[in-house]
Structure 1
Amino acid sequence: MTDSIYFAPLLPWQQALWTQLTSRVLSPPHNLPHALLAAGMQGMGKRAFVWRLIAWLLCQERQQYPLGACGQCQSCQWLRSGTHPSLQVLPITSMPISTESQENNQAVSNNKKTKTNTKSVKATNVAALTVKVDDIRALQPFIYQGGQGMRICVLDHAEKMTIAAANALLKTLEEPQAQVHLFLISDVPAKLLPTIKSRVQQLPLQGVEPAIANDYVAQELGNTINREVVSSIQITQLLQLANGAPLAAIELAKATWYSKRALWLTTWQALRSGKRSSIAASDYWQAEVDLPDFLKLTELMLIDVRRVCLGLDSSQKDIALLAALEKYQPTDNALETLLSQLRQTKTALQQNVQEKFAYDKLMQDLAYL
């Protein structure tokens, strides 16, 4: 994520909410809720909306630019450089990175000749993240410092707060300060304390009309996926697999592992029949995709296998899943056990377990499924 997210075009399904909120700020009595919660599953664009709104709220020319921050004033320049004095973000890794900083980081990475998968590292960091009470307390001086002008605090991954951290935040929510606004962002709002949710106003960012989602995905993919023409049926499938989330559907379509679903099916059949050893399969796949992506692929396939075994329609119409299950169907207990093992492997990766050993074990498990 770079600083450009502050000034990105508004997503089409968020236009009504944008108008509603900005009108409250521009029109008397010029008010905005003290605390807002952007919650829901990933892929709906809640973070994009929040960062765009924050840039506009801080923009010194917002009266003349109701559709988004001007991008030129001193406030916008501070955002671009990642040094805005009126914005605090927790955890700091959620702060949009300036283009210049990103280029510098990339140069350092190239000089060290690292081959780290940035997306995988970020996912692992989020999974291992914990927001502690000291993190919340560190925000207090900023919140209570007084002075002129609007101040904004962002708490990303709010569901990662410990009980003590949540209670510390609760005190801040119960004692709102003039010109101070808190934005909470959560992918799993069910994990937030009820007392927290009762003191924030939730932004309606969860749903997207199917027709709007379909059109957006088709436009963003440019009618191709990995240079292959994408049909309306494929777009419908992508949205179904992404639970209707347009951004998640686009990310899925562009993911290298998504194009290897048929290959996964062939590998599983070869493992089961004994035509391929688990070690050989492991060595092959390690050269194809990293383990976190293979776990995503395997989870997607097993969930669909389970659907078919339960008598439901396959979610994937573009691969021969039904044909593969005609002669043999694993038991529901076996599928649940392997899915549970996948979740355990994800946890183990946070503890720096070697990918090769985890890959080998997973292939053995698939061979006996």
Structure 2
Amino acid sequence: MSDLTESTGALDTSDGIYFAPLLPWQKTLWSQLTKRVSTSQQSLPHAMLAAGMQGMGKRAFVWRLVAWLLCRQRDTHPFGACAECESCQWLRSGTHPSLQVLPIVSMPVSVENTSNKEAASSSAKDKKSAKAASNSALKIKVDDIRALQPFIYQGGQGMRICVLDHAEKMTVAAANALLKTLEEPQAQVHLFLLSDTPAQLLPTIKSRVQQLPLQTIEPATAVEYVTQALGSTVNREAVGTAAIEQLIQLANGAPLAAIALAQAPWYSKRALWLTTWQALRSGKRSSIAASDYWQTQLSIIEFIQLSELMLLDMRRVCLGLSELQKDISLSVALDTYQPTDSGLEGFAASLQQTKIALQQNVQEKFAYDKLMQELAYL
């Protein structure tokens, strides 16, 4: 699941991320960091890394802290930026002179300043092209790092903050250029690195930043938060504790990812996917008929996401482990027939190949037809 802010479990590009409520499991860390600044006993580390899987709220925490550090009224607002002062207004407009963000597509901006209306009316082909361009724009190059140097070394301009989102996307040359900045801390300059896959960061980078402990969440806290966030319904079905715990388990313990999973249009269609697979495999339904039906239910990308989750659980059962999805009788279906390891691997590979083909503007109908044909032989 893609996430820019992780604040709600869904993609959020509004300026509200700066002033969103503090996530419950982040209160202790927030108190520790803000106290260091407020009491002037210690300054914050020069460079900090917020890393870990999506859905833990690391981006929500960092953007909130950035807003508070820059806020002109932070001494009287210990729990978050005031949202009213000149600094906060600059953040709202996306023009803060003391904040630099790489890559630029990661910077939260006001919805009014985006072309969402135009994007909503664009063709499917235009949307795919925009998505491909956005993915390409995530790469951080050496020239991007060099362009930060005047901002970092200008001196005497008060607190300045640099945020490097998707830090693992830095080229080797960019990472090496960043090392100089990390090795020569400047007064009142703070760098925040964000990464979903910190293992891809150079060891020399990780050794020079202080990692923020944002990944530990008590299970009870996660259950309570997800329950409150989802309210009384998930896809129009009553939510019980077992359903919430299953969502969190499927999301590897990440509450925001669990919420996004519950709200995904395909999550309620897991049992239907299983029924379709059984009908295809037994020959009771043709692949073309199945393809035509599913095209009315989900986009091809949503169907791929659904299929990936189903394959993950099927692999568990085939290995003798219990299924994660207790509500769709997956193990019962696999009692009569279990796919081979090669079959599971082959279909997983087809899903990945389809993703690549879609980026090259392959028609969704063609992709759907092909996947249904292959699902029939899983």
- TM-score bracket for this pair, using the shorter chain length: over 0.9
Q: What residue is the counterpart of 1:86 in the other structure?
A: 98
Q: What residue is the counterpart of 2:267 in the other structure?
A: 258
Query: Structure 1: which amino acid aligns with 2:46?
Result: H
3-state DSSP class of the match of 1:138? helix
1:209 and 2:198 matched: no
Contact 1:13 1:208 in 2 (8 A): yes
| Structure 2 residue corresponding to 1:107, chosen from 110, 113, 117 | 117
Q: What residue is the counterpart of 1:55 in the other structure?
A: 67
Q: What residue is the counterpart of 1:329 in the other structure?
A: 338
Deviation at 1:123, TM superposition (A): 9.1
Contact 1:55 1:76 in 2 (8 A): yes
Deviates more, 1:33-42 or 1:316-325: 316-325
Deviates more, 1:264-273 or 1:191-200: 264-273
Q: 1:359 to 1:324 in 2, by over 3 A?
A: same
Deviation at 1:127, TM superposition (A): 7.8
| Structure 2 residue corresponding to 1:246, chosen from 255, 259, 273 | 255
Percent identity at matched positions?
72
Contact 2:250 2:324 in 1 (8 A): yes
Query: Structure 2: which amino acid aligns with 1:265?
Result: L
How many Å separate the matches in 2 of 1:319 and 1:263? Answer: 9
Deviates more, 1:276-285 or 1:181-190: 276-285
Q: 1:47 to 1:74 in 2, by over 3 A?
A: same
Contact 1:157 1:186 in 2 (8 A): yes
1:197 and 2:206 matched: yes
How many Å separate the matches in 2 of 1:229 and 1:58? Answer: 43
* 5+ long unaligned stretches in structure 2: 1-11
Q: What residue is the counterpart of 2:8 in the other structure?
A: none
How many Å separate the matches in 2 of 1:195 and 1:52? Answer: 27
3-state DSSP class of the match of 2:328? coil
1:236 and 2:270 matched: no
Query: Structure 2: which amino acid aligns with 1:224?
Result: T
Contact 1:120 1:292 in 2 (8 A): no
Query: Structure 1: which amino acid aligns with 2:26?
Result: Q
Query: Structure 2: which amino acid aligns with 1:256?
Result: P
TM-score, scaled to structure 1: 0.94
How many Å separate the matches in 2 of 1:85 and 1:148? Answer: 10
- For these two proteins, the number of residue pairs brought into alignment is 366
1:43 and 2:61 matched: no
1:77 and 2:86 matched: no
Deviates more, 1:178-187 or 1:126-135: 126-135
Q: What residue is the counterpart of 1:11 in the other structure?
A: 23
Query: Structure 2: which amino acid aligns with 1:168?
Result: A
1:132 and 2:141 matched: yes
Q: 1:49 to 1:117 in 2, by over 3 A?
A: farther
Deviation at 1:124, TM superposition (A): 8.5
How many Å separate the matches in 1 of 2:122 and 2:350? Answer: 33
Contact 2:59 2:194 in 1 (8 A): yes
Superposed CA RMSD:
2.1
Deviates more, 1:193-202 or 1:134-143: 134-143
1:273 and 2:282 matched: yes
Q: For residues 87-136 of structure 1, what are the alpha-carbon distances to aligned partners after superposition, in whole Å with 9 as ceiling and x for unaligned?
A: 1111111111213224xx233345x4656898996698448842222222
How many Å separate the matches in 2 of 1:54 and 1:269? Answer: 51
Q: What residue is the counterpart of 2:76 in the other structure?
A: 64
Q: 1:203 to 1:255 in 2, by over 3 A?
A: same
1:297 and 2:306 matched: yes
Q: What residue is the counterpart of 2:174 in the other structure?
A: 165
Q: For residues 225-263 of structure 1, what are the alpha-carbon distances to aligned partners after superposition, in whole Å with 9 as ceiling and x for unaligned?
A: 122210100001000000010000011001101011011
Contact 1:124 1:350 in 2 (8 A): no
Q: What residue is the counterpart of 1:96 in the other structure?
A: 108
Deviation at 1:29, TM superposition (A): 3.4
Contact 2:226 2:258 in 1 (8 A): yes
3-state DSSP class of the match of 2:320? coil
3-state DSSP class of the match of 2:336? coil
Q: 1:161 to 1:356 in 2, by over 3 A?
A: farther
Q: What residue is the counterpart of 2:373 in the other structure?
A: 364
Query: Structure 1: which amino acid aligns with 2:27?
Result: Q
1:22 and 2:39 matched: no
Q: What residue is the counterpart of 2:7 in the other structure?
A: none
How many Å separate the matches in 1 of 2:362 and 2:184? Answer: 44
3-state DSSP class of the match of 1:314? coil
Deviates more, 1:193-202 or 1:267-276: 267-276
Q: What residue is the counterpart of 2:9 in the other structure?
A: none
TM-score, scaled to structure 2: 0.91
Q: What residue is the counterpart of 1:31 in the other structure?
A: 43
How many Å separate the matches in 1 of 2:248 and 2:130? Answer: 26
Contact 1:128 1:350 in 2 (8 A): no
Contact 1:217 1:250 in 2 (8 A): yes
